[in-house]
Structure 1
Amino acid sequence: MIRRDRRAALGMLGSALASGVLAGCAGAPRTDYRLLRDAGPQQPPLPGPRSDRVLLLASGSPPALYDTDRMVFSADGSSRSYFQFGFWADRPQRELLRLAEARLVQAQAFSGVALATSGVRGDLLLTLRLESLFLDAAASPAQARLAFGAELVDWRSRSLLGRKSFALALPASQADAEGFADAAGRAVGVLLGELTDWAAATGAKAGPAA
């Protein structure tokens, strides 16, 4: 009986999230579009000498579940579902790459930072791949969980300089699309700070440009 009641409760929670009941929608359902932001503090330039290398950023292929603008939640901690009326303004993989570019430009650790699709000639290639981004509604309080992988390659010698995974879970103020987006933005801010430090330290292994 307890197990049956728990399944029923989880099913009700999943239905509420998917239908937007918890998204603060009154009356007719409303589709909400949320921006994935870098909510971290303004980062000063990294200390130490700047690398004379140009860093290019490329996008890896995320899992199919996250290769969309639809927000994802988990009602039981193991399954994944889409919000019915909660959407990102753009696909998280694209936004993550754009935000990483802005953060790395701000850090001034490289002589230049640009997207690999820009046509700029680069020395190092940093590939980012979104691994997961969802609202864990089974946690108490609900949490935004973000994970992505990074791979840094010396573009000239085609040698791998380093590979690292970044992951973080932060509590959401409320178990809805708005609370999820806010917590996700804070997680992005923290992890992009870690990514910037790692990319600068790992890129230094390549030495000066020829």
Structure 2
Amino acid sequence: MRYKFLILPIFFMCYINASELPPYKAKYNFESEEISITGIREFKRSQDEYEISFNASNLLASLFFSSRFTVNNSIVMPKTYDIKITPKFLKRDQSLVFDQKKGLLKSKGQNSWVVKTTESNIVFDPLNVQIMIRIFIKKGLKEFDLNIVEMENGGSKKYTFKTKGYEKCLVGTTEYKCLILERYRKDNERVVKYFLAEELEYMFVKIIDSSPVRTNKLELKEVLSFG
């Protein structure tokens, strides 16, 4: 059975908050056709607010992604999402603000737009959706739908997530039991495959984003701190 996000607050009484997902700091490598770069990915909490970020730089480029959010009854409530990428062949500078009180999602920077949102149809950004995924997997869900923001033009698209079994993953010399999760949309050839380590509270070991025209990969290289 597939669960749609908007019915979850009604039917799931066993709450799992982000506080039950341990903070971590880890070294990841991002690889695409244009670049291969290693940086630090971190998930942390400050009072009632959470942040997940990725920061990487080398002689050719720098990447910075940050998502800030709160969690209410196992549901991620987005606040801000920021991207800063250089140099020119990858350049991107964009900030999102999720105004829950006014029901607005605003973007400024490279792409500027404003769209309306509703409490029953929450839109996630590319980073905080990964926290929502981990919460759902810890609940035992096998298939579910989530809405992810469209960064260029605003609005969102609904994606289906479905588990595909387990596979062994190696990080250095450490072996993990990884749950395989696929993200897809009907009539679209793009597929994102997630590898989540059961021993690390379903922390992402690898993400492979594949389409007919390109493939991007984010892969865990070293856990610096956990819990």
Please give the TM-score of this superposition, normalised by the length of structure 2: 0.26
Give the structure with the higher percent helix: 1
Which has the higher Rg, Structure 1 or Structure 2?
Answer: 1
Greater RCO (Cα-Cα under 8 Å, separation 6 or more): 1
Give the structure with the higher percent strand: 2
